[in-house]
Amino acid sequence: MSTTLPPSVELREVGPRDGLQVEEPKSVEERMGLVRALAAAGFSAIEVGSFVSPKAVPAMAQSAEVVQACKELGGFRVVGVALNGRGATDAVAAGVDEITAGVSASEGYSQSNTNMSIEQALVHVEKMCEVGRDGGVAVDLMISCAFGSPYEGEIAPSEVAKVVQLARDAGATTISLADTTGMATPRGIGELLEEVGTDVGMHFHETRGTGLANVYASLLGGVTRFDASVGGLGGSPFAKGAAGNVATEGVVNLLDDLGVDTGVDLVRLLDAATLLHDLVGHDLPSPVFKAGPRIAA
């Protein structure tokens, strides 16, 4: 593992989707208020909604309207989540610039949460990639449980690498690795990057408080794409043990100190976190939101 840090990274803000999906449903305008605040902070990519059944995830109803409002706002890539071909088709029709699709590296997790094997799930991935390709929309394939599974425990990096290759063969534009239930460690990150290479994004959760350590280990490993969620909210409603995402303001605070450019203004990001706090009406788990940056502007 290198000791050299990259000069810059891309942060994909997932709070308007991953953060709000576990909250009480908010109106399109309330969701757009958060998106506008995040866009003002400088994000180049924001995940704004999910194209799934509103019965399954009520908070993500009206995501098409949110996407359309984002396109009018402009200035960033608009990202939407889809789980199958129909969702991908709806996302493309709404006007997304990028689709986040998913498959699991854990057979047990895949069977328990989707009633499909990994092989069956990859059929849906192929369809979503086809829809994205036909619509001129990038597809980022998120591989869940890439660092371990609550069902199988450790998953060998070689097994994750097989899923990564299958995802690329299916036509995914980019690949991201998700620490779905917070099992990643710096040791495991190094071992996995040796197998899959550094051309991947990372999506960490704070279940065991290792999020920033894992971001740092990934940086040293050569990774330059990360997901993060304003305020540290998030977590799949279908994944037992999936605590909130690594907090975006914590990541920016760390990277600012390390001299790694994110393009994100921390002060404006904290303004967005304050808006989110008022919107959801409860405390946010983010330490930097609570304590402020290391050195105030």
In sequence order, what are the beta bridge partners of 50?
81
Residue 114 lies inside a defined structural domain of this protein: yes
CA distances to 51, 210, 260, 268 from 251, in Å: 28, 12, 11, 14
Question: Could you list the residue range(s) of the whole structural domain that residue 98 is in?
Answer: 10-291
Residue 201: CATH number of its domain: 3.20.20.70
What is the rounded average pLDDT for all residues in the chain? 94
Count of structural domains within the chain: 1
Token couple for 212: 């920033």
pLDDT at residue 112 in the model: 85
> Which pTM value belongs to this model?
0.95
Res 243 pLDDT > 70: no
Residue 4 lies inside a defined structural domain of this protein: no
Instruction: Convert the pLDDT of each residue in 115-148 to its tens digit.
Output: 899 999 999 999 999 999 999 999 999 999 999 9
Residue 2 lies inside a defined structural domain of this protein: no
Residue 1 lies inside a defined structural domain of this protein: no
pLDDT at residue 117 in the model: 94
Token couple for 287: 């330490």
Residue appearing with tokens 């390390």: 258
Token couple for 230: 């304003």
Q: Max Cα separation, the chain?
A: 51
Instruction: Convert the pLDDT of each residue in 152-198 to its tens digit.
Output: 999 999 999 999 999 999 999 999 999 988 999 999 999 999 999 99
* Spatial CA neighbour of 36 closest among 16, 20, 7: 16
Burial of 191 (0-12, 13-18, 19+ CB in 10 A): middle
Residue 297 lies inside a defined structural domain of this protein: no
Residue 253 lies inside a defined structural domain of this protein: yes
* Spatial CA neighbour of 37 closest among 63, 19, 56: 19
Residue 208 lies inside a defined structural domain of this protein: yes
The whole-angstrom separation of Cα 207 and Cα 262 is 24
At 113, the pLDDT band (50, 70, 90 cuts) reads confident
Residue 296 lies inside a defined structural domain of this protein: no
The whole-angstrom separation of Cα 211 and Cα 244 is 10
Instruction: Convert the pLDDT of each residue in 14-57 to its tens digit.
Output: 999 999 998 999 999 999 999 999 999 999 999 999 999 999 99
